[in-house]
Amino acid sequence: MRLALELAIGGQGHVEPNPMVGCVLVKDGSCIGRGYHQSFGGPHAEVNALRSLGTPSEAAGATAYVTLEPCCHHGKTPPCSAALIQAGVARVVVAMRDPFPKVDGGGIRQLRDAGIDVTSDVLKDDAKTLLAPYLKRVQTGVPWVIAKWAMTADGRIATVARQSQWISGPESRRHVHRLRGRVDAIVAGMGTVLADDPMLNARATAADGAESLAPRVAKRVVICRRRLPSRRSKLIRTANEIPTWLFASPRVDPVELASLQQCGAVVFPLDGDDSQAMVRQMLALLGDQDMTNVMIEGGAELLGGFWDPRTGECLVDEFHVYIGAKLFGGVSAPGPIAGEGLGPIELATKLTLHGVDRFADDVRLIYRRVE
Protein backbone atom coordinates (compact mmCIF):
# COMPACT_ATOMS: atom_id res chain seq x y z
CA MET A 1 0.00 0.00 0.00
CA ARG A 2 2.90 2.38 0.67
CA LEU A 3 4.15 1.73 -2.86
CA ALA A 4 0.66 2.40 -4.22
CA LEU A 5 0.52 5.72 -2.33
CA GLU A 6 3.92 6.72 -3.75
CA LEU A 7 2.73 5.87 -7.25
CA ALA A 8 -0.44 7.94 -6.78
CA ILE A 9 1.55 11.15 -6.28
CA GLY A 10 2.63 10.92 -9.93
CA GLY A 11 -0.82 12.12 -10.94
CA GLN A 12 -0.62 15.36 -8.96
CA GLY A 13 -1.64 18.29 -11.14
CA HIS A 14 -2.60 16.00 -14.02
CA VAL A 15 -5.77 14.25 -12.82
CA GLU A 16 -7.78 16.85 -10.91
CA PRO A 17 -10.72 17.08 -10.32
CA ASN A 18 -10.30 13.31 -10.17
CA PRO A 19 -8.39 11.90 -7.18
CA MET A 20 -4.78 10.74 -7.28
CA VAL A 21 -4.86 6.94 -7.09
CA GLY A 22 -2.21 4.22 -7.20
CA CYS A 23 -2.56 0.45 -7.60
CA VAL A 24 -0.15 -2.43 -7.05
CA LEU A 25 -0.80 -6.07 -8.02
CA VAL A 26 0.81 -8.78 -5.90
CA LYS A 27 0.89 -12.53 -6.53
CA ASP A 28 2.81 -15.25 -4.71
CA GLY A 29 4.61 -12.62 -2.65
CA SER A 30 5.88 -10.65 -5.65
CA CYS A 31 4.79 -7.38 -7.22
CA ILE A 32 3.64 -8.27 -10.72
CA GLY A 33 2.02 -4.99 -11.80
CA ARG A 34 1.65 -1.37 -10.89
CA GLY A 35 -0.07 1.71 -12.19
CA TYR A 36 -1.52 5.07 -11.28
CA HIS A 37 -4.10 7.49 -12.64
CA GLN A 38 -1.98 9.59 -15.00
CA SER A 39 -4.34 12.09 -16.62
CA PHE A 40 -7.89 13.35 -16.31
CA GLY A 41 -10.11 11.37 -18.63
CA GLY A 42 -7.50 8.63 -19.02
CA PRO A 43 -7.45 5.09 -17.60
CA HIS A 44 -7.59 4.80 -13.83
CA ALA A 45 -4.91 3.26 -11.64
CA GLU A 46 -6.41 -0.24 -11.58
CA VAL A 47 -6.64 -0.43 -15.37
CA ASN A 48 -3.08 0.85 -15.81
CA ALA A 49 -1.84 -1.74 -13.30
CA LEU A 50 -3.64 -4.53 -15.18
CA ARG A 51 -2.24 -3.26 -18.48
CA SER A 52 1.28 -3.36 -17.04
CA LEU A 53 1.10 -7.18 -16.84
CA GLY A 54 2.78 -9.38 -19.43
CA THR A 55 -0.49 -11.17 -20.12
CA PRO A 56 -3.99 -10.47 -18.72
CA SER A 57 -4.19 -13.97 -17.25
CA GLU A 58 -1.43 -13.09 -14.74
CA ALA A 59 -3.99 -11.17 -12.66
CA ALA A 60 -5.97 -14.31 -11.81
CA GLY A 61 -5.67 -15.00 -8.08
CA ALA A 62 -3.66 -11.81 -7.42
CA THR A 63 -4.19 -9.19 -4.69
CA ALA A 64 -4.76 -5.59 -5.75
CA TYR A 65 -3.70 -2.82 -3.38
CA VAL A 66 -5.58 0.37 -4.23
CA THR A 67 -5.31 3.74 -2.46
CA LEU A 68 -9.00 4.56 -2.96
CA GLU A 69 -12.12 2.45 -3.39
CA PRO A 70 -12.43 1.37 -7.03
CA CYS A 71 -15.06 3.30 -8.96
CA CYS A 72 -18.26 1.43 -9.85
CA HIS A 73 -19.93 3.78 -12.33
CA HIS A 74 -19.53 4.69 -15.98
CA GLY A 75 -17.94 8.13 -16.22
CA LYS A 76 -15.21 9.11 -18.66
CA THR A 77 -13.95 5.53 -18.27
CA PRO A 78 -15.64 2.18 -17.48
CA PRO A 79 -15.86 1.11 -13.83
CA CYS A 80 -12.65 -0.21 -12.25
CA SER A 81 -14.58 -2.63 -10.04
CA ALA A 82 -15.72 -4.44 -13.20
CA ALA A 83 -12.14 -4.50 -14.55
CA LEU A 84 -10.83 -6.14 -11.37
CA ILE A 85 -13.68 -8.68 -11.36
CA GLN A 86 -13.11 -9.56 -15.02
CA ALA A 87 -9.36 -9.92 -14.41
CA GLY A 88 -10.03 -12.54 -11.75
CA VAL A 89 -8.24 -10.97 -8.80
CA ALA A 90 -8.83 -12.86 -5.57
CA ARG A 91 -8.47 -10.01 -3.08
CA VAL A 92 -8.58 -6.22 -3.06
CA VAL A 93 -7.01 -4.14 -0.29
CA VAL A 94 -8.37 -0.59 -0.15
CA ALA A 95 -6.85 2.33 1.77
CA MET A 96 -10.12 4.18 2.16
CA ARG A 97 -13.69 4.41 0.95
CA ASP A 98 -14.46 7.00 -1.73
CA PRO A 99 -17.05 9.57 -0.49
CA PHE A 100 -17.96 10.54 -4.06
CA PRO A 101 -21.75 9.94 -4.20
CA LYS A 102 -21.59 7.73 -7.30
CA VAL A 103 -19.14 5.39 -5.52
CA ASP A 104 -19.36 5.69 -1.69
CA GLY A 105 -19.20 1.98 -0.87
CA GLY A 106 -20.63 0.77 -4.17
CA GLY A 107 -17.26 -0.36 -5.50
CA ILE A 108 -16.51 -2.44 -2.42
CA ARG A 109 -20.02 -3.92 -2.50
CA GLN A 110 -19.66 -4.97 -6.17
CA LEU A 111 -16.34 -6.66 -5.47
CA ARG A 112 -17.74 -8.58 -2.51
CA ASP A 113 -20.85 -9.57 -4.45
CA ALA A 114 -18.50 -11.08 -7.04
CA GLY A 115 -16.85 -13.21 -4.36
CA ILE A 116 -13.71 -11.11 -4.02
CA ASP A 117 -12.25 -10.69 -0.53
CA VAL A 118 -12.01 -6.97 0.35
CA THR A 119 -9.94 -5.45 3.16
CA SER A 120 -10.38 -1.75 3.77
CA ASP A 121 -8.87 1.09 5.85
CA VAL A 122 -5.25 0.00 5.34
CA LEU A 123 -3.03 3.10 5.79
CA LYS A 124 -6.23 5.10 5.76
CA ASP A 125 -4.70 8.16 7.46
CA ASP A 126 -1.91 8.30 4.85
CA ALA A 127 -4.48 8.11 2.07
CA LYS A 128 -6.58 10.86 3.65
CA THR A 129 -3.51 13.09 3.85
CA LEU A 130 -2.71 12.49 0.18
CA LEU A 131 -6.30 12.98 -0.92
CA ALA A 132 -7.17 15.90 1.38
CA PRO A 133 -7.86 18.38 -1.47
CA TYR A 134 -10.10 15.91 -3.32
CA LEU A 135 -11.93 14.92 -0.14
CA LYS A 136 -12.59 18.53 0.80
CA ARG A 137 -14.05 19.38 -2.59
CA VAL A 138 -16.26 16.27 -2.69
CA GLN A 139 -17.51 16.69 0.88
CA THR A 140 -17.92 20.49 1.00
CA GLY A 141 -18.01 21.70 -2.61
CA VAL A 142 -15.15 24.10 -1.84
CA PRO A 143 -11.56 23.77 -3.15
CA TRP A 144 -8.43 23.21 -1.07
CA VAL A 145 -6.79 26.57 -0.35
CA ILE A 146 -3.00 26.94 -0.41
CA ALA A 147 -1.44 30.17 0.84
CA LYS A 148 2.09 30.94 -0.27
CA TRP A 149 4.37 33.77 0.78
CA ALA A 150 8.05 34.61 1.00
CA MET A 151 9.34 36.43 4.05
CA THR A 152 12.66 37.36 5.58
CA ALA A 153 14.13 35.59 8.58
CA ASP A 154 12.62 38.39 10.72
CA GLY A 155 9.13 37.87 9.28
CA ARG A 156 8.84 40.76 6.80
CA ILE A 157 7.38 40.47 3.31
CA ALA A 158 8.69 43.88 2.22
CA THR A 159 10.89 46.71 3.44
CA VAL A 160 9.51 49.86 5.05
CA ALA A 161 9.69 51.31 1.52
CA ARG A 162 7.46 48.41 0.33
CA GLN A 163 10.18 46.80 -1.79
CA SER A 164 9.94 43.01 -1.93
CA GLN A 165 11.83 41.68 -4.95
CA TRP A 166 13.53 39.46 -4.24
CA ILE A 167 13.27 37.98 -0.75
CA SER A 168 13.86 34.39 -1.81
CA GLY A 169 16.43 33.00 -4.22
CA PRO A 170 16.04 31.61 -7.75
CA GLU A 171 15.72 27.98 -6.63
CA SER A 172 12.84 28.85 -4.31
CA ARG A 173 11.12 30.78 -7.09
CA ARG A 174 11.43 27.80 -9.45
CA HIS A 175 9.58 25.68 -6.90
CA VAL A 176 6.86 28.32 -6.64
CA HIS A 177 6.32 28.01 -10.39
CA ARG A 178 6.03 24.23 -10.04
CA LEU A 179 3.31 24.79 -7.47
CA ARG A 180 1.58 27.25 -9.79
CA GLY A 181 1.73 24.65 -12.55
CA ARG A 182 -0.35 22.09 -10.65
CA VAL A 183 -3.15 24.24 -9.17
CA ASP A 184 -6.46 25.20 -10.76
CA ALA A 185 -6.37 28.89 -9.86
CA ILE A 186 -3.93 31.52 -8.60
CA VAL A 187 -5.62 34.19 -6.51
CA ALA A 188 -4.34 37.70 -5.93
CA GLY A 189 -5.71 40.92 -4.52
CA MET A 190 -5.69 44.31 -6.17
CA GLY A 191 -2.87 45.51 -3.91
CA THR A 192 -0.54 42.93 -5.44
CA VAL A 193 -1.80 43.62 -8.97
CA LEU A 194 -1.17 47.37 -8.64
CA ALA A 195 2.18 47.03 -6.86
CA ASP A 196 3.78 44.23 -8.92
CA ASP A 197 1.84 44.04 -12.21
CA PRO A 198 2.24 40.23 -12.09
CA MET A 199 1.57 37.63 -14.77
CA LEU A 200 0.44 34.99 -12.22
CA ASN A 201 1.34 32.11 -14.50
CA ALA A 202 3.71 29.14 -14.33
CA ARG A 203 6.97 29.70 -16.16
CA ALA A 204 10.20 27.75 -16.73
CA THR A 205 11.11 25.55 -13.77
CA ALA A 206 14.34 23.88 -14.90
CA ALA A 207 17.57 24.97 -13.21
CA ASP A 208 19.09 25.81 -16.60
CA GLY A 209 16.13 27.99 -17.50
CA ALA A 210 14.79 25.58 -20.13
CA GLU A 211 11.06 25.78 -20.69
CA SER A 212 9.00 22.98 -19.17
CA LEU A 213 5.33 22.19 -19.70
CA ALA A 214 3.20 22.59 -16.58
CA PRO A 215 0.51 19.95 -15.89
CA ARG A 216 -2.24 22.56 -16.06
CA VAL A 217 -2.81 26.24 -16.83
CA ALA A 218 -4.22 27.92 -13.74
CA LYS A 219 -7.00 30.47 -13.97
CA ARG A 220 -5.75 33.87 -12.82
CA VAL A 221 -8.18 35.19 -10.23
CA VAL A 222 -8.29 38.74 -8.86
CA ILE A 223 -10.58 39.84 -6.04
CA CYS A 224 -11.67 43.39 -6.79
CA ARG A 225 -13.25 45.16 -3.84
CA ARG A 226 -12.97 48.80 -4.88
CA ARG A 227 -10.44 48.92 -7.71
CA LEU A 228 -9.93 47.08 -10.98
CA PRO A 229 -6.82 46.15 -12.97
CA SER A 230 -5.71 48.60 -15.59
CA ARG A 231 -6.32 47.77 -19.24
CA ARG A 232 -2.55 48.15 -19.59
CA SER A 233 -1.74 45.58 -16.89
CA LYS A 234 -0.12 42.30 -17.91
CA LEU A 235 -3.15 40.39 -16.67
CA ILE A 236 -5.60 42.23 -18.91
CA ARG A 237 -3.27 42.46 -21.91
CA THR A 238 -2.94 38.65 -21.85
CA ALA A 239 -6.54 37.85 -20.82
CA ASN A 240 -7.31 36.32 -24.22
CA GLU A 241 -4.29 34.01 -23.89
CA ILE A 242 -4.51 32.95 -20.22
CA PRO A 243 -7.91 32.77 -18.47
CA THR A 244 -8.33 35.83 -16.22
CA TRP A 245 -11.25 35.96 -13.81
CA LEU A 246 -12.32 39.05 -11.89
CA PHE A 247 -14.45 38.59 -8.77
CA ALA A 248 -15.94 42.04 -8.37
CA SER A 249 -17.88 43.65 -5.53
CA PRO A 250 -20.76 46.06 -6.26
CA ARG A 251 -18.42 48.98 -5.42
CA VAL A 252 -16.29 48.75 -8.57
CA ASP A 253 -17.01 50.95 -11.59
CA PRO A 254 -19.45 48.99 -13.83
CA VAL A 255 -18.37 50.83 -16.98
CA GLU A 256 -14.71 50.06 -16.36
CA LEU A 257 -15.60 46.46 -15.51
CA ALA A 258 -17.46 46.08 -18.82
CA SER A 259 -14.42 47.38 -20.69
CA LEU A 260 -12.25 44.70 -19.07
CA GLN A 261 -14.74 42.07 -20.20
CA GLN A 262 -14.28 43.32 -23.74
CA CYS A 263 -10.55 42.68 -23.28
CA GLY A 264 -11.21 39.02 -22.49
CA ALA A 265 -11.58 39.01 -18.70
CA VAL A 266 -14.37 36.87 -17.23
CA VAL A 267 -16.39 38.65 -14.53
CA PHE A 268 -18.04 37.05 -11.50
CA PRO A 269 -20.22 39.59 -9.65
CA LEU A 270 -20.13 39.26 -5.86
CA ASP A 271 -23.02 40.14 -3.57
CA GLY A 272 -21.20 42.54 -1.23
CA ASP A 273 -17.91 44.15 -0.31
CA ASP A 274 -17.19 42.55 3.07
CA SER A 275 -13.77 40.96 2.59
CA GLN A 276 -14.54 37.68 4.35
CA ALA A 277 -17.92 37.31 2.65
CA MET A 278 -16.24 37.98 -0.71
CA VAL A 279 -13.68 35.24 -0.04
CA ARG A 280 -16.38 32.75 0.91
CA GLN A 281 -18.46 33.47 -2.16
CA MET A 282 -15.39 33.30 -4.40
CA LEU A 283 -14.42 29.87 -3.01
CA ALA A 284 -17.95 28.57 -3.50
CA LEU A 285 -17.95 29.78 -7.12
CA LEU A 286 -14.53 28.21 -7.75
CA GLY A 287 -15.86 24.96 -6.31
CA ASP A 288 -18.78 25.17 -8.74
CA GLN A 289 -16.14 25.18 -11.50
CA ASP A 290 -14.80 21.80 -10.24
CA MET A 291 -11.59 23.33 -8.91
CA THR A 292 -9.66 21.16 -6.45
CA ASN A 293 -6.64 23.33 -5.53
CA VAL A 294 -6.41 27.12 -5.48
CA MET A 295 -3.33 29.10 -4.49
CA ILE A 296 -3.22 32.53 -2.84
CA GLU A 297 -0.33 34.63 -4.14
CA GLY A 298 -0.90 37.57 -1.82
CA GLY A 299 -0.89 40.09 -0.63
CA ALA A 300 -1.25 40.61 3.07
CA GLU A 301 -4.64 42.32 2.87
CA LEU A 302 -6.08 39.48 0.81
CA LEU A 303 -4.71 36.87 3.23
CA GLY A 304 -6.31 38.76 6.10
CA GLY A 305 -9.68 38.16 4.45
CA PHE A 306 -9.27 34.40 4.92
CA TRP A 307 -9.49 34.75 8.72
CA ASP A 308 -12.34 35.74 11.00
CA PRO A 309 -10.66 37.59 13.91
CA ARG A 310 -13.77 37.21 16.05
CA THR A 311 -13.85 33.42 15.97
CA GLY A 312 -10.38 32.48 14.74
CA GLU A 313 -11.88 30.58 11.79
CA CYS A 314 -9.35 30.14 8.99
CA LEU A 315 -10.27 29.35 5.38
CA VAL A 316 -6.72 28.36 4.36
CA ASP A 317 -5.89 24.65 4.42
CA GLU A 318 -2.17 24.59 3.56
CA PHE A 319 0.67 27.10 3.89
CA HIS A 320 3.89 27.24 1.87
CA VAL A 321 6.18 29.63 3.75
CA TYR A 322 9.48 30.51 2.08
CA ILE A 323 12.00 32.03 4.48
CA GLY A 324 14.69 33.99 2.67
CA ALA A 325 18.15 34.52 4.11
CA LYS A 326 17.67 38.26 4.60
CA LEU A 327 16.74 40.70 7.36
CA PHE A 328 14.69 43.86 6.73
CA GLY A 329 13.82 45.14 10.21
CA GLY A 330 11.53 48.08 10.84
CA VAL A 331 8.42 48.23 12.96
CA SER A 332 6.34 49.37 9.98
CA ALA A 333 7.67 46.74 7.55
CA PRO A 334 4.69 44.56 6.64
CA GLY A 335 4.17 40.96 7.66
CA PRO A 336 2.44 38.29 5.59
CA ILE A 337 -1.08 38.63 7.05
CA ALA A 338 -2.87 41.96 7.49
CA GLY A 339 -6.37 42.68 8.71
CA GLU A 340 -7.52 43.07 12.29
CA GLY A 341 -5.61 40.06 13.55
CA LEU A 342 -6.56 37.79 16.42
CA GLY A 343 -6.93 38.98 20.00
CA PRO A 344 -7.05 36.05 22.45
CA ILE A 345 -4.18 33.65 21.86
CA GLU A 346 -6.50 30.68 22.24
CA LEU A 347 -8.06 31.66 18.89
CA ALA A 348 -4.73 31.21 17.09
CA THR A 349 -4.84 28.99 14.02
CA LYS A 350 -3.08 25.75 14.88
CA LEU A 351 -0.86 24.13 12.27
CA THR A 352 0.92 20.83 11.78
CA LEU A 353 4.25 20.63 9.96
CA HIS A 354 3.83 18.77 6.69
CA GLY A 355 7.26 19.24 5.11
CA VAL A 356 10.60 21.07 5.29
CA ASP A 357 12.85 21.77 2.29
CA ARG A 358 16.07 23.70 1.82
CA PHE A 359 16.77 25.64 -1.37
CA ALA A 360 20.33 27.03 -1.13
CA ASP A 361 20.07 29.35 1.90
CA ASP A 362 16.26 29.52 1.80
CA VAL A 363 13.93 27.25 3.74
CA ARG A 364 10.41 26.23 2.79
CA LEU A 365 8.02 25.18 5.53
CA ILE A 366 4.79 23.45 4.51
CA TYR A 367 2.06 23.52 7.14
CA ARG A 368 -1.48 22.23 7.15
CA ARG A 369 -4.20 23.65 9.32
CA VAL A 370 -5.30 21.47 12.21
CA GLU A 371 -9.07 20.89 12.17
369 labelled binding-site residue: no
111 labelled binding-site residue: no
299 labelled binding-site residue: yes
Which entry of 46, 211, 241, 371 is annotated as an active-site residue?
46
302 labelled binding-site residue: yes
- The CB density around residue 266, as the number of other CB atoms within 10 Å, is 14
200 labelled binding-site residue: yes
- The length of the chain is 371
Q: Which of 138, 135, 119 is nearest to 127 (CA)?
A: 135
Four-point Cα dihedral 231, 235, 237, 239, nearest 10: -110
**Cα separation values, 70 from 79, 113, 263, Å:** 8, 14, 44
Q: Is 46 a catalytic residue?
A: yes
8 labelled binding-site residue: no
304 labelled binding-site residue: yes
196 labelled binding-site residue: yes
192 labelled binding-site residue: yes
71 labelled binding-site residue: yes
164 labelled binding-site residue: yes
52 labelled binding-site residue: no
Q: Which of 310, 316, 365 is nearest to 337 (CA)?
A: 316
301 labelled binding-site residue: yes
6 labelled binding-site residue: no
Q: Which of 189, 201, 202 is nearest to 229 (CA)?
A: 189
Q: Are 91 and 114 in contact (CB under 8 A)?
A: no
Burial readout 218-243 (b: 16 or more C-beta within 10 A, e: otherwise): bbbbbbbbebbbeeebbbbbbbeebb
Strand ranges for the chain from DSSP E = 22-27, 30-36, 63-66, 91-94, 117-119, 144-152, 185-189, 219-224, 244-248, 266-269, 293-296, 318-324, 351-359, 362-369
181 labelled binding-site residue: no
Cα–Cα distance, 26 to 33 (Å, whole number): 7
Query: Catalytic positions, please?
Result: 46
Residues at the binding site for substrate are 164, 180, 200, 203, 297
Residues at the binding site are 44, 71, 80, 150, 164, 166, 180, 192, 196, 200, 203, 297, 299-305
Residues at the binding site for NADP(+) are 150, 166, 192, 196, 299-305
